[in-house]
Amino acid sequence: MNRRRALVPLAAALLASRAAAHLNSPNVYLDEAIGPWPAVTTIELPQVIPGEARVVVRLTRASGGEAVGVRLLAIPPEGERVAAPSVAATALSSDPGTFIAPMPLTRPGVWTARVSVSGSRGAGQIDVPVGAKAPPSRRMPGSLIVLLSALMALLLATAVPIARALARNVYALPNGLPESTARLAPWAAAWCFVAILGVNGFAWWKKDQDVAARNAPAMRAELSTPSGQPVAGRPSAVRIDVVDALGKPIADILADHGKMMHAVVVEIPGMSYFLHVHPRMTRPGRFELAWVPPEPGRYEIFADVLSSMGVADTLTSLLTVAPGESARASSFEDPDDSDASPPALGGSATSGASYDLGGGYAMRLVSPATRPVREHELLDLGFELDGADGRPVDALEPYMGMAGHLLIVRDDFAVFAHVHPMGTVPNRMSMPGSHSAMTPEEHARAMATMRTRIEGARVSFPYGFPSPGRYRLFAQVRYRGAVRTGIFDLEVRPAP
């Protein structure tokens, strides 16, 4: 059973839509046993493609004396037949239960990290889909464009007198150029200089365009609001068309946790409103979302759709809501939809911090322990639901097939992640026929693991924050038929 990090498809927007797969939270986390070996697998992706990823396998219950070996097979987009031989992972001297192996990603596409573990308990393997995507080309700052243009004009201005001086010297020679030709020489040199600059500039632009086209998202969203600009307190319709890089509708979208799309909307700048909703697919590639905006202002929308390749693309959009009447939706068409109106971002949550859910219920952040949280540190983010008597409830109920869902947003909205108890890997349990789908044995083992994770009042999520800053955590569980959302703020410090 496997966790997908895929997250949240997006809802609405009027303004520009920014494609940013996984929104600067690129590492892959998977808390899933590899055969008889309980393990947490982390894939640290490079910042550029081609580049080298790092696969870290932590065997969580391995004893120091056990003989165990870990191997990695990096399968490129073309398939296993062209894969390089598998490599042995190296055990850390400081932690014999943790193994590290390099994974070269030589080109963009959907790779597969096949991790195999063998030892005294037996053997097993898992396949983890890895989306290798080159970063978007950087735009040249306007100030640099002005500076370079000024320097080019200066070069052009100096080229003319230099060519004129050379022509005069040539004309003065016994067999020099005719006077009429000498007069044209400076201008010919100037136009030649301009032509060289033009040819090189066009070649540079064309290469940049080719790279941008090659690295374009496998899917993107075209958003529209058929009923006009959203108004606070009034039902608003948002249409989301999922298309490929050429603008053609994408029909091979897979359900993740029973939903064709997830959407998260948060208020800007304080995240004082949160919405987790699931738009309906009305035809292949087209989704419709009905929403009542609670207040006028700006809202950030995060979106993610799972493709048949097992990798999700995340998009964001900015939605502006016009003034109207204040309102909050009290019911939703989908019982898995929910919203919350927390206080604006502020304070800092630590282990033991509690969030009042109303009705006598509260959620506590029980891990990590009370100490500074560092970037890139693999954490077990744990939450526990308390009942009206102040004690943990008897057992959580499945929420879209999981013990819980965790949505993470940094205060500048540049980082977003949707994490599940199994991690951030797409849910292979719901991908029959996909190259990333589970085998029957893996599926049975995953179901057994999931049942044990829903038995108590506590749910935990493996995750490592990709950068320093202040984050807001929205932890969601279901109890007695209601979705309950605990909200916590966490400060993440730079790595030492």
| Coil, strand or helix at 258 | coil
| Confidence (pLDDT) at 308 | 65
Are 258 and 281 spatial neighbours (Cβ–Cβ below 8 Å)?
Answer: no
Measured torsion, CA atoms of residues 371, 483, 33, 368, in degrees rounded to the nearest 10? 0
CA 101 to chain CA centroid, nearest Å:
23
Q: In what order do the strands lie in the sheet with 17-19?
A: 17-19, 312-321, 297-306, 262-268, 274-277, 338-340
At 277, give phi and psi (nearest 5°): -135, 165
Average pLDDT on 332-344 reads 90
Using CA of residue 60, residue 63, residue 64, residue 70, what is the dihedral sign?
A: negative
At 366, give phi and psi (nearest 5°): -100, -15
First to last CA, the chain: 34
Highest mean pLDDT among 169-178, 180-189, 404-413: 404-413
Distance CA(423)–CA(7), nearest Å, equals 11
Confidence of residue 187 (pLDDT cuts 50, 70, 90): low
Q: How many alpha carbons lie under 13 Å from residue 480 in its C-beta half-sphere?
A: 8
> Burial of 393 by CB count in 10 Å (0-12 exposed, 13-18 middle, 19+ buried)?
buried
DSSP string, 156-219: HHHHHHHHHHHHHHHHHSTT---HHHHHHHHHHHHHHHHHHHHHHHHHHHHHHHHHHHHTS-S-
The CATH fold of domain 219-493: Immunoglobulin-like (2.60.40)
In angstroms, the Cα distances linking 15 to 75, 250, 317, 368 are: 39, 22, 7, 38
Share of the chain above pLDDT 70, in %: 74
What type of residue is 187?
A: W
Distance CA(23)–CA(387), nearest Å, equals 35
Distance CA(270)–CA(404), nearest Å, equals 24
| Confidence (pLDDT) at 135 | 58
Q: Greater confidence, 491 or 20? A: 491
Give 22's DSSP letter.
G
β-strands 416-419, 405-410: how paired? antiparallel
Could you give the angle at which helices 179-214 and 142-172 cross, rounded to 10 degrees? 150
pLDDT of 175 > 60? The answer is no
| Confidence (pLDDT) at 326 | 79
Distance CA(380)–CA(462), nearest Å, equals 5
In 3D, which of 487, 41, 456, 496 has the Cα closest to residue 264?
Answer: 487
pLDDT of 487 > 50? The answer is yes
| Confidence (pLDDT) at 276 | 93
Average pLDDT on 454-474 reads 89
| Confidence (pLDDT) at 11 | 32
Share of the chain above pLDDT 90, in %: 33
Per the structure block, which two tokens stand in for 480?
């007695």
CA 17 to chain CA centroid, nearest Å:
15
**What residue ranges do the domains of the chain occupy?**
22-132, 142-214, 219-493
Rg (CA), the chain: 28
| Confidence (pLDDT) at 405 | 93
Q: pTM of the full predicted structure?
A: 0.76
Per the structure block, which two tokens stand in for 451?
């049942």
Confidence of residue 160 (pLDDT cuts 50, 70, 90): low
pLDDT of 316 > 60? The answer is yes
Are 477 and 396 spatial neighbours (Cβ–Cβ below 8 Å)?
Answer: yes
Q: Greater confidence, 217 or 276? A: 276
Q: In what order do the strands lie in the sheet with 28-31?
A: 28-31, 39-44, 51-59, 98-105, 90-91
The CATH fold of domain 22-132: Immunoglobulin-like (2.60.40)
Q: 22-132 and 219-493 share one CATH topology?
A: yes
Distance CA(122)–CA(198), nearest Å, equals 65
pLDDT of 4 > 80? The answer is no
| Coil, strand or helix at 114 | strand
Mean pLDDT score of the chain, rounded to an integer? 79
Q: What is the pLDDT of residues 56-99, one digit of tens each?
A: 999 988 776 778 999 999 999 888 999 999 999 999 888 888 99
> Burial of 416 by CB count in 10 Å (0-12 exposed, 13-18 middle, 19+ buried)?
buried
- Of 225-239, 305-319, 455-469, the poorest mean pLDDT is in 305-319
